[in-house]
Structure 1
Amino acid sequence: MNIQPNGAPLLTQDTLRPDCSNCFALCCTAFGFTRSADFAIDKPPATECPNLAYDFSCTIHSRLRARGFRGCTVFDCFGAGQSVSQILFGGISWREDPESQPAMFGAFRVVKQLHEMLWHLAEAHRRTYSPDTAADVQHLRVTLEEAAASGSQAVLELDVEALHHSTAQLLGAVSEEVRAGYFTDDGGPVTGLRPGADLAGAGLRGERLCGADLRNAVLIGADFRGTDLTAVDLLGADLRDARLDDADLAGALFLTQAQAASARGNGGTRLPSVLARPGHWTD
């Protein structure tokens, strides 16, 4: 069952979503960004974005892309913002307690990573065929949830690298399970499809890709129009401006809302049920 030892339900992908109304605009303050195609200005870390209102809302929220802040529209904290704001810091903002800023911003950076791991582990638990792997995934989910709620100081002292390693091993095992059923009779996917591959601008329209491992691949501007991406491992893949018109990603592995939002799709693009169709996609 998807419960913790204390009887509380484990976080699911449906609960690992941002709730900006209960966050102290941590994504607009903790992280910095550099002027680029994604951001119109430079902003150092741990400083307020000039577009931030006093009530922690964004003054140009409805015009972010038009104003050159595309990067803001694809960011996803996986619910870390409200968790840090309301649970770790008891609903007291960094404006009310300026001395809390370093700890709050630091905790947000860590909890965002923990929640992203939890997002992927929730999918892994749902998709694994192995009872032993499912038990390992369940145990790690409990560990990460307890760590994320352990208090601001404890969060800052976590060995996040070790937790990333454990998560990566389990996600890799589940990926292999799911992808193993493809290309067993008539060969593998297109040559060059491998973890970390640089496929920026690649023309992959109509290729047989089901079951390919594209973990951490560079897929910027790649053409996947009309392509079936079932069981393709997209963990950490860079999908910025990838063309997904009429592509089928409903069964893709480890796809996030941020990845979908960074790509280009249309009304015919199929996404996993836990993801929303980005508002900027065309019809």
Structure 2
Amino acid sequence: MLPVLRAECADCFALCCVALPFAKSTDFAVNKPAGTPCKNLRQDFRCGIHTRLRDSGFPGCTVFDCFGAGQQVSQVTFEGRDWRAHPGTAGAMFEVFPLMRQLHELLFYLSEALALTEALPLPAARPVHTDLRTALATTARWTEAAPRALADFDINPLRQEVNTLLLKTSELVRAKVAGRKKNHRGADLMGARLSGADLRGANLRGAYLIAADLSGADLRTADLIGADLRDTDLRDADLREALFLTQAQLGAARGNPATRLPDSLTHPAHWLP
């Protein structure tokens, strides 16, 4: 059975607030080293400024997504033993959490890719679909591993294997779009004026779209995996069927109620009418 891929903070021992480092910037008001609790963390593992994060200089916290890794480490890997009551677990727990987060992210993308290939009535999609299922099962097994095994696990070969499969999936899906598709993979499009652009089937993997104007753009079946959407204007844009789009990417962008999204995602609370 796959672990839950949506964060359940009530079942987590605030691992993102302790295990991960952050640097003073526009995203975080202060510096914090890895393994040190955030100054805003309360004794009950809740954030003391949760409702005021953006106004308090911590917008980076509002867009972070562990894909459910926090509760997996807290409740499964360490069987509900929290790092305060059981300080001997702290070092191992903080070491395992970033790796588990990567595994859950891979599960998220693999699950979407499986659904996409299932919907393709193409012979070429069948072997990709089979390989995706195998990769999903392998990744899921690692989420159930013991702390020591996880700490010793080299995730890079698995990431490379999954990335190859996601690329194949993207190519198969985007091939359905007629005409020549834009290829902006890894491109620097910071501040670009793309309002109303037809980007259907475009390759925007890893593109830097910081503060770009994509208002009213058509991004259906565009591949957005790893695209940097910080402060990107998505008002009135059409992101239905966008490939590998995450809730965290939307949280970093600007949009409005008219921004059309995939059914699995929601409009962030800070998107004003």
TM-score (norm: length of structure 1): 0.92
Please give the secondary structure, in 2, of the residue aligned with 1:252. Answer: coil
Question: Does residue 59 of the first structure (1) align with residue 54 of the second (2)?
Answer: no
**In angstroms, what is the RMSD of aligned CA positions?**
1.0
| Correspondences of 1:40-189 after superposition (within 5 Å) | 40-128=29-117, 129=120, 130-184=125-179, 187-189=180-182
Specify the alignment match of 1:248 in structure 2.
Answer: 238
Specify the alignment match of 2:206 in structure 1.
Answer: 216
Cα separation, 2, equivalents of 1:239 and 1:81 = 24
Cα separation, 2, equivalents of 1:10 and 1:108 = 17
Which stretches in structure 1 are left out of the alignment for 5+ residues?
Answer: 1-8
Q: How far does the alpha carbon of each residue in 1:137-177 deviate from its partner, in whole angstroms, 9 at most, with x for none?
A: 11111100100111111111112101110110000000000
Q: How many residues align structurally? A: 267
| Correspondences of 1:232-243 after superposition (within 5 Å) | 232-243=222-233
Which stretches in structure 2 are left out of the alignment for 5+ residues?
Answer: none
1:121 maps to amino acid: L
TM-score (norm: length of structure 2): 0.96
- Ranges of 4+ aligned residues in structure 1 off by more than 6 Å: none
1:188 maps to amino acid: K
Specify the alignment match of 1:23 in structure 2.
Answer: 12
Specify the alignment match of 2:250 in structure 1.
Answer: 260
1:258 maps to amino acid: A
Cα separation, 1, equivalents of 2:10 and 2:198 = 43
Please give the secondary structure, in 1, of the residue aligned with 2:186. Answer: coil
Specify the alignment match of 1:229 in structure 2.
Answer: 219
Q: How far does the alpha carbon of each residue in 1:103-147 deviate from its partner, in whole angstroms, 9 at most, with x for none?
A: 101111100000001001100000012122111111111100100
Q: 2:2 aligns with which of 7, 10, 17?
A: 10
Cα separation, 2, equivalents of 1:107 and 1:16 = 17
Cα separation, 1, equivalents of 2:92 and 2:174 = 41
Cα separation, 1, equivalents of 2:37 and 2:200 = 43
Once the two structures are TM-superposed, the CA of residue 246 in structure 1 deviates from its matched residue by 0.7
Cα separation, 1, equivalents of 2:204 and 2:178 = 15
Q: How far does the alpha carbon of each residue in 1:23-75 deviate from its partner, in whole angstroms, 9 at most, with x for none?
A: 00000000011111110111111100000000100000000000000000000
Once the two structures are TM-superposed, the CA of residue 188 in structure 1 deviates from its matched residue by 3.4
Question: Does residue 38 of the first structure (1) align with residue 30 of the second (2)?
Answer: no
Please give the secondary structure, in 2, of the residue aligned with 1:76. Answer: coil
